A and B are shown apart, each in its own frame.
Chain A
């Protein structure tokens, strides 16, 4: 059964902010100076419990997940729990033994490509980054691993989108994901220069529709931008809005039915829907007594989250925006209203 706007019940796992790049638009502010990462012992009991709550897929993101030391051990444990595991990477380290080890474990690898070489290297603040990401795509194809191209759409990148669609197709990608720049982390610093205005969003939406039509069927095109009217019409996909949960989660409701995706941040916070809802809407802290936190969420936090969601859909209905990045919309609204909705955790 659908939960939220996703076909699967997904945990997005950001285990570290360490990264070998310092991209100008990084939504999480990751970079080489950031150290550390969540210990396997800290996260695995939580993931085991979340499997019981109906989550099916864990998508590693970052930071750069290939720099996360326990990556393989954690992946093996997740697979043993019955999760499907995906991974998003900048591709720089995707080679040799590491690639060989990932191949039988990972369902889909998404490699970030920000445009043609010059633009990619400029946004990634590293000469040669494009060439290395492209080589990673070629290796993924040789290894017969399903992979996609994930693109952060910026104003500078829009003229190159037809090129990108051809590139993804030529490289053998099975997914082309177009994700508007997130105005969080360092993304906030470049939003005025690179963010998408209403016109750019309309262009992106139309291009996505045309790519769906033109690219061969093996390439799924996903644009993380939707007509406002379609989102409003689909509000009932959020089961948390069901009056049955008005006084707390109805008994027996799995968490994945009302919170999807679930985000696990590098600080060990479990957060609903989008990275930008941390820390104010945190459901549980993995370093504390997360079982108690989750119980409290079922009793009280779910009601606050329900009010927040209802307010978001109400605002969406009043908005004049034609095309909406739903998760960015949630994060923006949370930033404005967070104190009233803050969820207490241990």
Chain B
């Protein structure tokens, strides 16, 4: 799994089980919306809206980093490899994982 993808898996877990708090979730969601992601298309679907986006598959890691660049918080870029200037929980977790290649788990780093 690529580095971005490992980090992505940690983020997924943090978002899913609520370790990323409500404020952080809204903050991130708002920032992604602010990018004016344009609806494009999806080839087929069973049910529901078929919108997809101009951000290409496999590029969300770089896409989020770009956000941080725009916000000019380069010091945080190191701390948040996925570029999400939100809570402490992320800062600790992500840097630990990025530097050691270990998978400490968010619960551990939350202590």
- Interface residues, chain A, with chain B CB atoms under 8 Å away: 2, 5-8, 10, 12, 57, 59, 61, 86, 88, 107-108, 110, 148, 150, 158-162, 165, 175, 177, 179, 199, 202-203, 205-207, 209-214, 217, 220, 222, 224, 226-227, 229-230, 233-234, 237, 322-323, 326-327
Contact = CB atoms under 8 A, between A and B. Distances in A.
A137 to B, nearest CB: 15
B46 A148 contact: yes
Given A7-B44, A207-B15, A213 B39 contact: no
Given A202-B29, A205-B29, A212 B12 contact: no
Main secondary structure of the interface of A (DSSP, over half): mixed
B74 interface: no
B33 to A, nearest CB: 5
Q: Which 6 A-B pairs have the closest CB atoms?
A: A224-B48, A213-B60, A5-B49, A202-B29, A162-B12, A227-B33
Interface residues of B, number: 39
B12 A199 contact: no
B45 to A, nearest CB: 6
Contact of A203 (B16, B30, B43, B61): B16
Interface stretch (B50-58, B90-98, B103-111): B50-58
B11 A210 contact: yes
Interface in B1-40: 4-5, 8-9, 11-13, 15-18, 22, 25-26, 28-30, 32-33, 36-39
A236 to B, nearest CB: 11
Most buried by A among B12, B39, B42: B12
A234 B49 CA distance: 12
B59 interface: yes
A285 to B, nearest CB: 23
A230 B54 CA distance: 12
A161 B49 CA distance: 20
A7 B11 CA distance: 31
A327 B51 CA distance: 13
Contact of A230 (B44, B51, B57, B58): B51
Contacts of B37: 227, 230
Given A6-B49, A6-B50, A150-B47, A230 B39 contact: yes
Given A7-B43, A108-B46, A199-B22, A322 B11 contact: no
B49 A327 contact: yes
B70 to A, nearest CB: 18
Contacts of A230: 33, 37-39, 51
B46 A210 contact: no
A108 B50 CA distance: 16
A29 to B, nearest CB: 18
